Structure 1
């Protein structure tokens, strides 16, 4: 056991972020890795016991962390996303949640052996999925827009309602079983819930007004929002336990739909914090479990309950609630399978386990074991299967990672054309119909619009694209576009054309951290690239073999050849950049711009070889 509380903090942070890195490195579900890390550090090897070591700080810390995570998720709930999806989303978060509650409660009563009172409380908790588990899975699986948006909305909106449903069920149970309670307690519960929604709405509107009116400087905006989230959650939760989650969800949705200019910066800030909190909270929760809890997980009634929740309750609730909603059978199947439970289920269940046990309800001692069994089973089953199932149902945007090219011109369209020939998803984006003429004529996928406008988030599905290349005629615009999309694509996957030597903006003093990486090798500005295409340069695709290696290719190439990128056998793209070593293996394809003389000689050699072979054949 680690004795120092400071060392415990460090250990938890390292385990959490280390688990995220391992998950990213080996393409594993992050929640699964974090759960295993927490179990190993806690009940299995006994290195830490956060609940015991943190004492009274344990529950408040987790509650605030969950509130921040839920708020960050709700910041993504813009009603514009619901265009065409309003009916299925509404049905799933209302009728679907209700059906899941009833079926889940009856399953807990008849299969898990809980009392009817405890079963209905647990049934309410288990309708939640939540952003802590859904959003990482969506990033990993690259689902098509419709199922991805439905799962995201369900996960974030139902999260607070699951907690409230459990509270409501608990109040009903106490009202029925106690002679001293009257209907006023139920009325107060509904009043507190309404107050929480109103409080969240007011907080969101006030923050929006302060921001837009310029009463808060830029450097204080993110800290102000963070403080407001904690205040909003705490006030509502002090009025009535578990209503704080509803308050922060209402606050986040209000801000998301106000159209605030700085909402994207806040979203990135909160997303970074959420990743840290998700990592640490999952370690905290799993490391605080006991060996007795883990042993109870393997009881037959708990295993049976989990299997029925996975294969009967969830699919049935989705299929029944989405009748006539317009969803395809494939979409219903995927959504009906994916329902991982996460932090909210664990935290709310652990709270009610103690309360129900204190009230003397039968089966309350099994609540924690039952919850962990369902959480671990769902994050494993759904985490490992979502990608496979999405491919089987043709609901995945899987394939070669694609590229968005900003700016339509002779070079960018030619580059897009050669990418399409290699099967790489590509999209040329430009705000000018005139400039897009070349893309339309070449038959290249294109989109008319300003890439920097907020509207583009709803008109372009960014899921198939892993790379962004800014290739307009203006150096300053390329730098701005690249800087804007670095948080979305990652600094490693955002590129821009080199600064132009003879035209365009003069940005010699630009900070090296602004904008993406400069393409290609040797570096050529847009004007030079367009001139070379006009002069007859052609795009050439060279497949490397064991006999013709990358070293031989680089040695044989014409000194005027411009190296563009390598298409790896793994389907990844690796662009040539000055000062960065780009390697290629047998089976990889090197794409380059080759001078016409070099290409002419290649064709001539092929024709001579063909004529010689034909002559030899005739002689024989």
Structure 2
């Protein structure tokens, strides 16, 4: 019945279903604050082996394998483009150790677990063990986005995932070539020479393609509107040529190409990277749905207690032990070592490459090659679910979260900015004031606030400011054009709904007015820089008030008719910055932050009888 249903599903409808499930799972995960990979995995299993609505190998036939291979190549290329060497900073030692020491040790430990626990032969274990080095950038990136780790542990996990993906694939290639040599009794030196030539070619192709693309873009040999198409075509060409010379070496080539472009300082790099990130979201969701849906009930039923024992040993021994050994006696703290050791989710590359080599091993006469794909899927499913739900609590327990509650970054040092930052700090929210002018930060420093002296859009800010600690930004300098630039540039990273700026001064001439489509949202009463600071000069102040059943929002409005709501902080710690048209929440326990004229009564009478109203004056 499942076969009939899947056979009757048009391939175009199949593509549409995959897209809808992938993007829908990501949106639902964002809405419910759940790991997106877990929902995609469940969705794929539901429409595939569960309901029989989709069987990708039947709908898409021989195109299934090339589609997954190209998608994985693009995902790895985008990962390479995110690896700026400047962002590596103090995590460089740890990353080198994880790749040079941890990867070989992980290969050996994984192969041992496959042989002694899962019962696979040594040749099959050696090939599959090489693939298991990878930790999956497709799953690490969404997890890091949700867990909000501190900079160094996040960099360790991110770099390890990207770099080890092609390394793991090449390790599998090396093991497979040796297995072929032993099976065919051909020359070992010939196989090693072919492998060396393939790896060298991949490195040269990737570096040459990156160098050539950078030169072409810098010398204006490619028009702006064609840069992304040219990038895609070159990427596919490099992957195809390298993979033709040596299977799976294309992953290494595209990663090197992305790494080269990321560190070339291209003016159009940010736009290209954002487009690639959007494409990657679609590809990751699509590939996960496809691979999960392509699993059959018969294959899943082959998983027994040995598969469970294998997964447990990998999670508790084969992953942590190599990581702890490779990071021993380094500058990485023991807390960071534990977090990295017990965070090793596998993803798309493992399932895709394992399935490919499992089929090849079976064709060579190794019967246990057919067990590689279901074991890989079990490992991916278990680690994705486990780490998806435990990474945030584990990081919190080890004190490696960037912040428990994300705060506000205020760009522009002024009396208004300092007063707002001070009252946010009193609410136990992370807050920082940044300004290129050192003198503008004097009041903020006197208040004991965190400050950054420099341009928030500079590379120095990327290295020194932990932006993960903040999920909202307020552009509040005395330069309207700069405020608009900051809000526009950071909107894709923070989300446009989380970027605010003070109102621009109305320009008398249309030729000097900035487009209304640029910039951030209005905040408070939609004052200009000068109007906002004038309120404080006219004896206004910031106050925070806790709403309750005895003191509702209506009561607050009656007590403070002239007050201007700026933000509200929900009982669960969710902060919202409010615009002139946004109504504060009326939930009991909400902390309401507003600007209001100072009271004239004595200080001891400023609180209401239950002590609900506090104030912060400049």
**What CA distance in whole angstroms lies between the structure 1 residues aligned with 2:345 and 2:491?**
30
- Whether the aligned pair in 1 keeps the contact of 2:565 and 2:584 (CA below 8 Å) is no
**What CA distance in whole angstroms lies between the structure 2 residues aligned with 1:324 and 1:277?**
39
1:556 pairs with 2:559: yes
| 3-state secondary structure, aligned to 1:584 | coil
Q: Partner of 1:15 in structure 2?
A: 21
**What CA distance in whole angstroms lies between the structure 2 residues aligned with 1:234 and 1:607?**
72
Unaligned runs of 5+ in 2: 611-618
Question: Residue 575 of structure 1: which of 574, 577, 581 is its match?
Answer: 577
How does 1:442-481 map onto structure 2 within 5 Å?
442-481=447-486
Q: Partner of 1:35 in structure 2?
A: 41
Q: Please give the per-residue CA displacement for 1:10-67, whole angstroms capped at 9, x wherever unaligned.
A: 1111100111011111111111110010000001110010111101111111111111
- Whether the aligned pair in 1 keeps the contact of 2:503 and 2:527 (CA below 8 Å) is yes
Question: Residue 518 of structure 1: which of 507, 522, 529 is its match?
Answer: 522
- Whether the aligned pair in 1 keeps the contact of 2:137 and 2:161 (CA below 8 Å) is yes
**TM (normalized to structure 2)?**
0.95
- Whether the aligned pair in 2 keeps the contact of 1:102 and 1:123 (CA below 8 Å) is yes
Question: Residue 237 of structure 2: which of 231, 238, 245 is its match?
Answer: 231
- Whether the aligned pair in 2 keeps the contact of 1:500 and 1:524 (CA below 8 Å) is no
Q: CA 1:198/1:504 → structure 2, altered by over 3 Å: closer, same or farther?
A: farther
TM-fit CA distance, 1:214 = 1.6
**TM (normalized to structure 1)?**
0.94
Q: Partner of 2:337 in structure 1?
A: 332
| 3-state secondary structure, aligned to 1:455 | helix
Q: CA 1:133/1:602 → structure 2, altered by over 3 Å: closer, same or farther?
A: farther
| 3-state secondary structure, aligned to 1:566 | strand
Q: Partner of 1:587 in structure 2?
A: 589
Q: Partner of 2:614 in structure 1?
A: none
| 3-state secondary structure, aligned to 2:439 | coil
**What CA distance in whole angstroms lies between the structure 2 residues aligned with 1:353 and 1:113?**
15
- Whether the aligned pair in 1 keeps the contact of 2:406 and 2:468 (CA below 8 Å) is no
Q: Partner of 1:96 in structure 2?
A: 102
1:241 pairs with 2:247: yes
- Whether the aligned pair in 1 keeps the contact of 2:500 and 2:522 (CA below 8 Å) is yes
- Whether the aligned pair in 2 keeps the contact of 1:475 and 1:507 (CA below 8 Å) is no
Q: Partner of 1:366 in structure 2?
A: 371
Q: Partner of 2:294 in structure 1?
A: 288
Q: Partner of 1:541 in structure 2?
A: 544
**What CA distance in whole angstroms lies between the structure 2 residues aligned with 1:608 and 1:40?**
57
| 3-state secondary structure, aligned to 1:517 | coil
Question: Residue 490 of structure 1: which of 495, 502, 519 is its match?
Answer: 495
Q: CA 1:237/1:444 → structure 2, altered by over 3 Å: closer, same or farther?
A: same
How does 1:101-500 map onto structure 2 within 5 Å?
101-297=107-303, 299-500=304-505
**What CA distance in whole angstroms lies between the structure 2 residues aligned with 1:574 and 1:512?**
23
**What CA distance in whole angstroms lies between the structure 1 residues aligned with 2:413 and 2:22?**
43
Q: Please give the per-residue CA displacement for 1:337-394, whole angstroms capped at 9, x wherever unaligned.
A: 0010000000001101110000011411111111011000000111110000001011
Unaligned runs of 5+ in 1: 611-620
In the TM superposition, structure 1's runs of 4+ consecutive aligned residues that sit over 3 Å from their partners are 503-512, 601-610
**What CA distance in whole angstroms lies between the structure 1 residues aligned with 2:88 and 2:13?**
46
- Whether the aligned pair in 2 keeps the contact of 1:342 and 1:375 (CA below 8 Å) is yes
| 3-state secondary structure, aligned to 2:593 | strand
Question: Residue 535 of structure 2: which of 532, 535, 540 is its match?
Answer: 532
CA RMSD across the alignment: 1.8
- Whether the aligned pair in 2 keeps the contact of 1:114 and 1:362 (CA below 8 Å) is no
TM-fit CA distance, 1:609 = 7.8
Q: Partner of 1:615 in structure 2?
A: none
**What CA distance in whole angstroms lies between the structure 1 residues aligned with 2:101 and 2:268?**
36
**What CA distance in whole angstroms lies between the structure 1 residues aligned with 2:455 and 2:36?**
35
TM-fit CA distance, 1:82 = 2.2
| 3-state secondary structure, aligned to 2:60 | helix
**What CA distance in whole angstroms lies between the structure 1 residues aligned with 2:549 and 2:96?**
57
**What CA distance in whole angstroms lies between the structure 2 residues aligned with 1:150 and 1:304?**
28
**What CA distance in whole angstroms lies between the structure 1 residues aligned with 2:231 and 2:133?**
29
Q: Partner of 2:600 in structure 1?
A: 600
| 3-state secondary structure, aligned to 1:435 | helix
